[in-house]
Each structure stands twice: as structure tokens, then as C-alpha cells.
Amino acid sequence: MVEHRMVDVNGIRLHVAEEGEGPLVVLLHGFPESWHSWRHQFGPPAEAGFRVVAPDQRGYGRSDRPAEVGAYSILHLVGDVVGLIHALGEERAFVVGHDWGAPVAWHTALLRPDVVRGVAGLSVPPPFRSSRPPLAVMDERFHGRFYWNYFSQPGVADAELAQDTRTALRKIFYTASGDAPGAGSGAQPLIEPGQGWLATMTDPETLPEWFTEEDLDALTESFSDGFTGALNWYRNLDRNWELTAPWHDAVVSSPALYVYGDRDLVPAFPGTPELIAALPDLMPDLRRKPVKLAGCGHWTQQERPREVNEALTNFLTALV
């Protein structure tokens, strides 16, 4: 059974869900999600002899939400993971992330390889620092219409998403899934002038089989205090680029796994298809070629739990 508790970490309190005993596996969710997005990934690794822990990351769910935008930098987020590993009584762990959780996992391995036994990323591939700040690049490329730039405006997306939280989440999860019409077309997530992020999203009459009304209820409850903490992660994108300057041209050296869906919008971001194709040559310890899941959209471990559990458990057991 999954158990829940609060843990003091890195100057804040994190809510964590936990199951199993053995080598520690930390599961890091993305936006707009919570620990619940890993609901299918507790049992199989725990049965294989692992201790699985999924926190609500800072700014999410029942975890603390610092008020300062600067408290959500990549160094804070990596600090939370390292602190959590140590707070749980371990020196090292496997770190797995999806969406925003993937950059946190990859950067934990990049910045603190001594505490990472292996790293896996879903949807978002490993980081290779560009020559220019990401918000500036996307602003120039898409004339301010890319959703990162929209999210970076103080209070704007916060108000839009909080106006009807359940409807917003329902639209986001369906539209970014492999079930939505046009998924996998490569279309970029752009906001039309004068509109919000949700304006062009589909509100489905029924949810996909993998995402129930109960799942939506749990997710909606986790955002009952709003979206500002979660959106503050995006407001640090250019600052993260500045902070990671010492690691320019560095690569993740830990044993690694990358999994993505062929209908996911993130792997279609500018330059990302080329990066994914080159990963076997760029990553010194990528344990297998990137795993591409047919028909899968953005919510990798929720849409394809069986395939993700198989790839993840095989990856973990090979390293112990």
C-alpha cells in the first residue's frame, strides 16, 4: 500500500507518497501534475525489490509553496531531490522524472552524479545547454506566442487556470494526450494574440480510459491553492540558463534511460527531434536507444503504464 507523510527537506516541507523496501527510486512529476501521476509506478518496482517515493514537488499539492519566484530555480529543485534522498536515510538513489520532473532528474544527475545511481527521463530528453537563454529564443522564434513566454507573465496564466481548475485540467490532459485529434502533428503550443492558453484546447465529452473522473478529482484537489508555485518554475527558465553556465557542454554520465511517445508535443519542440536522434552518440551511458511508444502522447507513464513499468523495472534491476 502507498503511504503518505511529510518530510523536512532543504528548508521546506514536502509531501511524499511511498511504497516498498530496497534501493531508493525517486519519481518526479511534471506540470500540471502531482505525485498521483505516478500511481501506476509504485507496485511493479516495489514488487521487484525497490523503495519507491514520489513527492509533490515544491509549489505543488500538499508541499510548501515559497512566495518568491526565485525560490523555484533548478538549483532549488535539485537541492530538494538531494535533500529528500538524504532525509530518507539514503546516500544514493535512482531518479526518474516526467515533463518538468525530467529536467530536475537530469540536472540532479548532471550536478550531483555522486548521489544518482541511474536516471530516467520521460518526454523531456537530457539537457544540453544552448548558447542563448530559452525564453529569449522562443520569444524571438514565435513572436511571444510560445506557451513558455505566456507562462512567464506574472499572474496571467495563474488567473486563467484558476478560474475553473477542473475544466482547465481536463482540457490540458486531453489535448496533450495521444487520444486528441491532431496529436503527433508537430504543431507548436502557441497562444493566439488576445487569447489564453486554453482557448484552442478541446474539452472532451468523455475522458480517455487511462484518466478517470477520480484521477481528475485528485488532480483538481492538488491545485486547490492555485497554480502560481507551479508556474514559477517556467519563470526561472532564463535564470536556470544563467545558473547552469558552469555545466555548459557537460553531459549526464550516470546510467540513463529515455522514454517518449510518438504523439507527444514536447519531442516535436524546435531542435528536439534532432537531439533525440543523436542521444545514443551524445550520452556516454545511455543503456538503450530512446524508447518510442506508439500512439502515446505527453502523459507517458499514465497513458502507457505497462510499457513504462517494463522499461523502468528492467533498467533499475540491471543496475543493482
Catalytic residue annotation: 99, 298
Q: For residue 241, what are the CA distances in angstroms to 69, 99, 228? A: 15, 18, 21
* CB-CB contact of 254 with 119 (8 Å): yes
Quick one: cell of 47? 514488487
Quick one: cell of 258? 529515455
Quick one: cell of 289? 536507444
Cα(136)–Cα(22) distance, integer angstroms: 44
Q: SS3 string of 188-222?
A: CCECCCCCCCCCCCCCCCCCCCCCCHHHHHHHHHH
Residue 302, classified by CB atoms within 10 Å of its CB into exposed (0-12), middle (13-18) or buried (19+), is: buried
Beta bridge partners of 96: 27, 120
